[in-house]
Structures are given as structure tokens and as C-alpha cells.
Amino acid sequence: MPIIAGPIAFYYLAAASIASAVLAVTRRNPIHSMLWVLALFLHVAGIFLLAGAEFLAAVQVILYAGAILVFYLFFLMLLDLPGETAEARFGAHWPLCAAAGFGFAALAWFARDPGLVPTAEHAAATDPSPGSLSAVGHALFTQFTLPFEIASLILLAAIVGAVVVAKRRAGA
């Protein structure tokens, strides 16, 4: 019986997504909850990649995971959490985290073989399909360059504003 990497990867990503969602809801520490939500978003992006929706995976990582990281940054800067910074750098669960990291690295190493994952047959066209990642990227960096840059400046201003507010609260 041959092993098919696609269903195995899907079941891993689905189980990890469910576990991350449950852990995000059940954690007492809000910072740990946000990190589990980040893990959830990254696993969902992996499911989108398996489904062949590269654009949705990119949006999932850029918007959702990026927004969660910005929210995490605001959360960390605006709340006074001295107990979080005073704790030891590595908790009691670091061996489990290291094993999970090595397991993911091993999966990525074995996924290099192009014969493991079945690919969809695509017609070789000169123009990319309208919903493809290359077509969206081309439109984003040609037709919509100015709105894209304005959005990045607004996010930069929000980060600088959070730093200023955090500095005022700290009295520095």
C-alpha cells in the first residue's frame, strides 16, 4: 500500500489546526493564546496550499498572521506584564517544542521529493489565470501600487503610535 503525502499532510494540518484553536481558547495567559492563534492561522494557510489556493494561503499569512503579530505587538507594548518578562526564558515544555520543530523539519525534508504530492494538471498558458497569485501580484504592484503603499504607511504609523503610547505609560 503506497503512502500518499497529500492526505497525511492534510490530516496533520487539520489536527494541528483543531489543537491550536482549542489551546488558544483554553490558555489563561493572553500572550500564549495569541501565539496559538498564530499557529492556527499558519496551519490553515498550509491547508490552502494543499488545496491549490496559493493566493488564499498568502492572504492568510500576510493579513491574518501579520495582523495577529501586530496585535501581539500592541498587546505586549500597551499592557504592563512584568510577570511575563521576569519568568525564565525556556519553560518546562521546551523539549516538546524542540521535538515538534525537528518533526516539522523532517517532514519538510521528506517533502522535497516531487513524486510524494500529486499535482493538478495545468494547461500551459502565456497569461496567468485571473485569480492566480502571479496575476494578483502583477495587479498589486502595477495598478494598485499607490493604495498598497498607503496601507503600509498607515500600518507603520500605527506601530509608531503604539510605541509612543507605550513610552508615555512607562514614563521614559
Alpha helices in 27-115 (DSSP H): 30-50, 54-59, 66-78, 82-86, 94-110
Query: What per-residue confidence (pLDDT) applies to 38?
Result: 86
pLDDT of residue 124: 45
Report the alpha-carbon angle 86-39-30, nearest 5: 40
* Mean pLDDT of the residues in the chain: 76
Kindly indicate the confidence band of residue 16, based on its pLDDT and cuts at 50, 70 and 90. Answer: very high
pLDDT for 114 equals 64
One-letter amino acid of 132:
S
What pLDDT was estimated at residue 123? 41
pTM: 0.51
